[in-house]
Amino acid sequence: MGQSKKLKNLHSILKDKAKIIKATFTITNRTTTSIQIAVIRATTRSTHSPPPDHRISSLLSVAHTTRHSASACTSAIIHRLHHHHQPNAYVTLKSLITLHSIIAGGSFVPKDHQSFRPTSAADHHYLNLSRFIDNTDTQSREFSLWAQWYARFLESNLSTSKVLVCSLSSKAEIDKKKENVKYSLFMDLFKEIEALVSMIEEICRAPRSLHCQTNDIIYEVMRLVGEDYRMTQYHTMIRLTELSTRIHGLSTNELSELTLYLERLEGCKERLTELFANRRRNESFWELVTESMAKLLRLKEDKELKSVSRRMIEYTTESTQLKKQLREASRPLGLLPLGDGNHWLSVDPYNLTFSLA
């Protein structure tokens, strides 16, 4: 068994070296060549450790130069994810870690991610690793589940960034968004909060094989996801704080919708505590969620009571008017003036007889 593993590792090393040689001699553009080689070295098959920091830094230095370079980096990573004859969970996870690092580095603009847009029905839509499986051994199969989830999480990151119109992973965007959010419409704030809550829910779907988290690759995955979770908290807090200043302008339906989002958030708290322990607790975030929920419920109850009272007043007014109309309709007509001034016509509304007084 040990000999077989050594042979497999040797085969993996040779395979990556062959890819590097191929990239060197077949790609004419020097920048593209260096990117291809940097991606292979960062996601090597020979080790089961996360990409070394100096490999990631090397890629980031290239990705930060131009949009073309950033696009070339992501294209190379996507190619690495989907173009290998035998699925390898470790290569896939390291490729996703590398991609995540580029996104977090701020050079990746979500609306420009052409590498993720399918040009035909046969193309991969976003990362699309839902069917990825490495059947090499038990651990590889477990890591395949982590790769599937991590890909979905990164897709959620990109989708949320698109809704927010900024890179969710970028710390530089927080202050700018904090200033601009005060000019946002209710419908935009609600759409953004829903996207942020959906992303937090995706974090909670991480595999429950906790023993895998002691592995260096999975630990690095959760460290990066934890950073994004922290940024998600900040973005959510900015919007909840803004909505709290306008809360009296919300309709009953809007109050119900926002309450539903907060209920979904509270439903994630226990799972998030399991995943991150004391690393990303941020009690101020959960205090704001609880306070906002209490305020929403009180205001919703007040609005519903006022609505009931208003309907009762309207009903009472309509009932009073109807009774008045019925009384007037059933009242005897009495004496009607008729004739030459001193004579009156007496009308009996029941017998309808007429007599001159």
Residue 94 CA to chain centroid, in angstroms? 24
Of 82, 196, 200, residue with least CA distance to 147: 82
Q: Which two tokens stand for residue 102?
A: 């580029």
What is the DSSP-derived secondary structure letter of residue 51?
A: P
Closest CA to 160 of 240, 206, 103, 97: 103
The Cα 239–Cα 236 span in angstroms is 5
Q: Would you say 321 and 338 are in contact if contact means Cβ atoms under 8 Å apart? A: no
Neighbours of 208 (CB within 10 A): 10
Cβ atoms of residues 167 and 103 within 8 Å: yes
Measure the CA–CA gap between 284 and 297, rounded to whole angstroms. 20
The answer for residues whose C-beta is within 8 angstroms of residue 209's C-beta and 6 or more apart is 142, 145, 146
- What is the predicted pLDDT for the residue at 172? 74
Secondary structure in 3-state letters for 66-132? CHHHHHHHHHHHHHHHHCCCCCCHHHHHHHHHHHHHHHHCCCCCHHHCHHHCCCCCCCCCCCCCCCC
For residues 97, 102, 103 and 105, what is the CA-based torsion angle, rounded to 10 degrees?
Answer: 120
For the stretch 116-126, what's the b/e string if a residue is b when 16 or more beta carbons lie within 10 angstroms of its beta carbon?
beeeeeeeeeb
Tokens at residue 160, please?
Answer: 């949320």
The residues near 90 (Cβ < 8 Å, ≥ 6 apart) are: 45, 47, 48, 140, 143, 217
Residues 6+ apart with CB under 8 A from 248: 299
Q: Which of 243, 242, 260, 246 is nearest to 197 (CA)?
A: 260
pTM: predicted TM-score of the whole model, two decimal places:
0.78
> Which residues partner with 344 through β-bridges?
337
The predicted pLDDT at position 154 comes to 95
Going residue by residue through the chain, which has 357 residues, state the pLDDT in tens, using 9 for 90 and above.
Answer: 455 555 555 555 556 655 655 556 565 667 778 888 888 888 887 778 899 999 898 888 887 777 788 888 888 899 888 876 678 899 999 999 999 998 887 655 444 444 454 444 344 346 889 899 998 888 889 999 999 999 999 999 999 999 998 888 877 777 777 788 888 999 999 999 999 999 999 999 999 876 676 789 999 999 999 999 999 999 999 999 999 999 988 888 899 999 999 999 999 999 999 898 766 567 899 999 999 999 998 888 877 666 655 666 666 666 666 666 666 666 665 555 555 555 555 555 555 454 544
220: nearest Cα among 31, 334, 88, 55 = 55
Q: Identify the DSSP state of 169.
A: T
CB contact at 8 A, 134 and 89: yes
φ/ψ of 203, rounded to 5, equals -60, -40
Q: How many CA atoms lie within 13 A of 31 on its CB side?
A: 13
Is the backbone of residue 123 left (phi > 0), alpha (psi -120 to 50) or beta? Answer: beta
**pLDDT of 117:** 47
What is d(CA 25, CA 19) in angstroms, rounded to the nearest whole number? Answer: 10
Q: Locate the domains of the chain by residue range.
A: 22-109, 143-322
pLDDT score of 114:
46
Query: Which single residue is written with the structure tokens 């990117």?
Result: 35
Around 341, how many Cα atoms within 13 Å sit in the side-chain half-sphere? 0
